[in-house]
Amino acid sequence: MHLHDLTIKKFNQGLVNKEFTALEMVQQLYKFIEKEDKKINSYLSLDKEAAYLQAEAADLAIAKGKGVGPLTGVPLAIKDNILIADQPATAASKMLENYTATYDATVIRKLRNEGAVFLGKTNMDEFAMGSSTENSAFGNTKNPHDSKLVPGGSSGGSAAAVAAHLAVASLGSDTGGSIRQPADFCQVVALKPTYGAVSRYGLIAMASSLDQIGPITKNVEDAATLFQAISGHDEKDATSSEVIYGDELSNHKIEKLKKMVIGLPKEYFDKGVDKEIIKKVKKVVKDLEGLGIKFKEISLPHTKYAISCYYIIMPAEVSANLARFDGIRYSPPEGVKAKNLADLYLKNRSKGFGKEVKRRIMLGTFVLSSGYYDAYYAKAQKVRSLIKQDFDQAFKDVDVILTPVSPTKPFKFKEKTKDPLSMYMTDVLTVPANLAGLPALSMPPGFQLIGQHWREADILNIGHYYEHVQNSS
Amino acid sequence: MAAPINKNTLKQLAELARLKLTTKESDEQLKDLKKILKYFEELQEVDTEGVEPMNGGTLLKNIFRDDSINLEQKAQSVDDTGRIIESFPETDKGYLKVPKIL
């Protein structure tokens, strides 16, 4: 089977029908990675030995007649802020350049139990802070569709690896759009789950009231499969929920879909959004209407404040979460000589963190400082409530909300690095779902479906149906 | 709202955040932060009278568990702790050794 044709489902069918073994596919993928990833730089590290062992274990289980699960032997790429025991986890920062993870993140433990194979760790913006992967301390990742363009970010490596067929699927993390926007830029599918649906134990924390781990895949069905495998309650993450997801994620019933009403928030089709993108999304709306799904124009009036709200709350949480990086515990510093402990912190942090990370730590420290707390942080938390209430109100009339993913098409390297605010603006259509804790699916040709809390099934079913109709027409 | 950040506050913030910025870094940060904070002023036009602040991702309730020892987890945790200690640059009796504090 050709790597370009591989999806999770086709991989599974190939294994079951004995067209190939997991080991053969993993070997073939590594060959392809060695050749292709020189151009793209989607991976930061590979662990072939561990992957071969995992693949052999999957093949052995099959040979012994044990059941083949949907993820048995499936080769995945993992964002470098998610811990895999005994592998590097740099979060694309100099601060963690020499760090080796000592345990598996819960999502990794779950996937390991399902027999999945981890090919390697993917590039990202440093500590997941950025929208183009240009903030990686270890070089840019190129957009597989055009090497002059960024792959998006922060999970740029995970999206590029899937788009370039250097993995069957991948995991990323999404704090303000970090899996949906790169998936959009690389023309693949991504699901940001409901806040609390997936355990973050073993994810290097960025902004804890917003972070979620989610899948990046070649189609919606695969996103449902991977999401189902990683979701579920975990005692090690106090924010993880008891909600259990079942087969409703991948079994769409057409009659049920046709009864749905999809909302189109006028604020997301504003003049700030690229005209070509709006045109494409309107075509999607028309196609879905043609299938009998109803649409309704709605308003989410506080959308315009989402960027300010997000860029206050997120850095505040960043400044607290990144306080743990003293350059001592997670990787021994090299060549830093200090007079005393405070001096050591100062030197390590100044050397270890990149520009954007420092900017967000400073911004977060500022908005939390006495005298400014009420005007910035407390205000932003109240606006966050209003943004969530907008969605609550809208969901009284509609089942799902459809919007563009990104206000711009993939941009060129360095186009937005000089002006941080212009980079922040690229997140305008993705941050509201994080602020409100809602699930959101991003898929070609550039639209996003936002669902109600714990209703991943609604957005996956519509997405799957759309994809199915597109592929068969 | 007056521009709330200047060279002195920036220096103080850097100290609080345990960051030492070069002159070039300070100048750049000051310029960027001023611009970003200026943008945030739009929030002042939002009427938030009587609105409860949203403190977390979802409206979650407290989760309690029995105060019991999970032997399997304890074994795992001892194992993890051992590996974490092994990764320390310097240890003394299982503690992380750092330079003197004063």
- Is B96 within 8 Å of chain A by CB? yes
Cβ–Cβ of A350/B21 closer than 8 Å?
yes
Q: B44 to chain A: which residues are within 8 Å by CB?
A: 375, 379
Query: How many angstroms separate the CA atoms of A204 and A207, rounded?
Result: 10
Chain B 11-50, residues with CB within 8 Å of chain A CB atoms: 13-14, 16-21, 25, 28-29, 32-33, 35-37, 39-40, 42-44, 46, 48
User: What 3-state class would DSSP assign to A95?
Assistant: helix
What is the number of helices (H) and of strands (E) in chain B? 3, 2
Contact (Cβ atoms closer than 8 angstroms) between residue A287 and residue A466: yes
Least confident of A291-295, A417-421, B91-95: B91-95
The pTM of the full predicted model, rounded to 2 decimals, is 0.96
Of B25, B32, B55, the CB nearest to A420: B32
Give the closest-approach CA distance of A299 to chain B in angstroms.
16
As beta bridge partners, residue A404 has A447
Q: Give the C-alpha distances (Å, rounded to integers) separating A279 from A274, A284, A286.
A: 9, 9, 11
How many domains, chain A? 1
pLDDT tens for residues A301-348?
Answer: 999 999 999 999 999 999 999 999 988 888 766 777 888 999 999 999
Contact (Cβ atoms closer than 8 angstroms) between residue A26 and residue A6: no
Give the closest-approach CA distance of B93 to chain A in angstroms.
16
At B61 the pLDDT is: 66
- Is B94 within 8 Å of chain A by CB? no
Sign of CA dihedral A222, A121, A149, A129: positive
Which tokens sit at A268?
A: 């997301």
A157 within domain boundaries:
yes
pLDDT tens for residues A12-69?
Answer: 999 999 999 999 999 999 999 999 999 999 999 999 999 999 999 999 999 998 889 9
Q: Residue A124: which CATH number?
A: 3.90.1300.10
How many CB atoms are located within 10 Å of the residue A420 CB? 21
Q: Give the C-alpha distances (Å, rounded to integers) separating A42 from A4, A29, A204, A333.
A: 17, 14, 19, 26
At B58 the pLDDT is: 66
- Kindly list the catalytic residues of A: 79, 154, 178
Structure letter (DSSP) for residue A142: P
Of B5, B36, B60, the CB nearest to A196: B60
Q: Which structural domain, as residue segments, surrounds residue A26?
A: 3-249
Task: Kindly give, in sequence order, each residue whose CB lies less than 8 Å from that of residue B61, ignoring residues fewer than 6 positions away.
Answer: none
Contact (Cβ atoms closer than 8 angstroms) between residue A119 and residue A77: yes
- Is B64 within 8 Å of chain A by CB? no
- The Cα diameter of chain B in Å comes to 58
Buried b or exposed e, range A195-224, using 16+ CB within 10 angstroms = bbbbbbbbbbbbbbbbbbbbbbbbbbbbbb
Best mutation target among A362, A421, A428, A435 (most B Cβ atoms within 10 Å) is: A362
* Residue boundaries of the structural domains of chain B: 7-45, 69-102
Cβ–Cβ of A382/B44 closer than 8 Å?
no
Pick the CATH number of B7-45 from 3.30.70, 1.10.20, 1.10.8, 1.10.3470: 1.10.20
A219 within domain boundaries:
yes
How many CB atoms are located within 10 Å of the residue B15 CB? 13
As beta bridge partners, residue B11 has none
A143 within domain boundaries:
yes
Q: Which residue in A56, A85, A94 sits closest to A73, CA to CA?
A: A56
Of B10, B37, B57, the CB nearest to A239: B57
